[in-house]
Amino acid sequence: MVEAGCVVGGRYRLENPLGSGGFGTAWRAYDLRIERVVVVKTGAAETGEAVRRFLREAHLAGALTHPNVAVVHDVGEFTDGGRTVVYLVMEYVDGTDLAGVLARCLPGFAESVGWARQICAALAAAHDVGIVHRDIKPANVMVTGAGVVKVLDFGIAMRWNGQTSLTATGFVVGSLPYMAPERWRGVGVDGRADLYALGCVLVELWTGRPAFSGRDAVELLTQHVSVAPPIPSVLRPGLPPAADRIVADLLAKDPADRPADARETERRLAALVGPGSTSASPAPDTPTEPRPRPCNGPGPSASPTVTDDRAQVRSQLAEFTTLVQERPNMRGIEKRLQAFVAECAQRFGPRDPVTVTAELLHLGYVVRRGLGDPGTVLPQLAAALERAAAAGLGPLDPTMLYARVDQAYGGLREFRRGRERYRKGTTARRARRDALASLLPDLLRGLPASDPRRWEVCSDVAADSYALKDYAQAASLWDGLLPPLHTLSAPPTPEYREAVLRHAHAAGEAGRLERALDLLTELTLFRPVESGYTDLFWEEVERLRSRYERLAGQRGT
């Protein structure tokens, strides 16, 4: 199993995971030979041809050298538990990705234009040698403390699966909110698909909102293919008309209607803030309505000393976050967190984003673990959430989301205390479902599907909805929670089979008969074949399958 401490390729020691994505897992690692910090990305390959294609195209990307592109240092493969794992070694970029910036603040117009111009420079260099990124999004764009942009993951989506559309299994290469219409249609793509994704990124940088915000793949498909893109100045008055025109052109449904290439886009962006640009509108950096949030993100104006100091503290904060998530019972962690909050307040002030983030982590941990007096701690957490919002932490900031989840569970626990009628039954189910369901829209947008807090809330809301016979909501949530049985690496446990049965029942009672029958049919593949084997579970599977087959037949007639 690939885990911290492993030495990949005989020289790269994996230290800690940085995140997961379509390719696999990204690790902070140490190059033992050259003695430098690097990023190692690992992923399992399904076939020998996939390995060969990955190695061939990774070498191509390795030849791409540009100041705004994270350098590919090395590539290779190894065997882990009988499976082939490929890895890519990249430059470690010390900075903040644009997703992190947007979670905290709305950047200044001129600053965001400067970042976009650097993205264009990186795209131009890649397109010149025939590389299409295919996954331009805020999370793949890093900004250093000096304001230098580094585009990450060039070609990884293309290497990992050479297709550009839906595959036979329904897997989509790329990130759906940024995917050009031609990608959805399954036709060939060129660099203009990257320009479309850049247009989506610009909408977020200039307005704080996604260009398209469908709740699922079907809604996003409809929006990308047939819905007109937003007009940025409507969402943020004061932006110049030329900014609206750039977004409209980049998000054109037909690639032929978009700018010819990244260099043309860069020139148009430069004109927005260049000495020759004129506009009757108010200055872009001082819009007629206040910015949604003040920005303390990375940029050229940041002091190197302060940036380094903050980077060190943020690294400590990340370590505490990991401890709270992975080792919640660790002895003494609450006192260490409390001392860390006091240290941050002394260094940066009590209302600084770093301080309030640390405070949220501490109070959320106290509430979650049931430490202290709830009547005192819960109001403290509510006040900390207000301070965090005032300090610029956006509603989708992970620490904000974690604290809101802790607040919800802590409030429910306190609400039920001493109230016998709320401890069980329908009333308790409805109270918990309603309290947690209000968090779902932000959790689904702000946290990855693999996040344990998101999974916990979705799972509880699904279970409560099922118990309350809100089958449509239960089935919808279980669609995103339960991986298909055929994808499991081992036979399903009895608990997992029960969950799939409830999922099928909810789908069927919600009128999604085909979905219910698919789930039940898949379950029967794992039915024991011993002669005379009977079980109430399998009797229920057969009863539901007969019922839904009959209903489907009636619907067909």
Catalytically annotated residues: 135
> Is residue 212 a contact partner of residue 227, using CB atoms and an 8 Å limit?
yes
Phi-psi region for residue 266, left (φ > 0), alpha (ψ -120 to 50) or beta? alpha
For the chain, how many residues are written? Answer: 557
What pairing do the DSSP bridges indicate for beta strands 83-91 and 95-97? unpaired
Measured CA to CA in angstroms, residue 300 lies from 225, 304, 321, 382 at distances of 37, 9, 28, 34
* Structure-block tokens of residue 22: 């379509």
Q: What are phi and psi of 257, to 5 degrees?
A: -90, -5
Of all helices (H) and strands (E), which one includes residue 482? none
Distance of CA 404 to the CA centre of its chain: 18
Give strand pairing partners of 96: 143
Long-range contacts of 443-448 (CB under 8 A, 24+ apart): 443/401, 443/405, 444/215, 445/213, 445/396, 446/103, 446/395, 446/396, 446/397, 446/398, 446/401, 447/398, 447/401, 448/19, 448/20
C-alpha closest to that of 42 among 15, 29, 23, 62: 23
C-alpha closest to that of 156 among 318, 9, 25, 346: 25
Q: Which alpha helices (H) appear in 251-332, and where do they start and end? A: 262-273, 304-326
Measured CA to CA in angstroms, residue 281 lies from 203, 272, 304, 533 at distances of 18, 12, 34, 77
Distance CA(174)–CA(155), nearest Å, equals 11
C-alpha closest to that of 96 among 290, 273, 324, 302: 302
Task: Please name the residues in contact with 102: beta carbons below 8 A apart, sequence gap of 6 or more.
Answer: 138, 204, 205, 208, 394, 396
* Structure-block tokens of residue 546: 């007969």
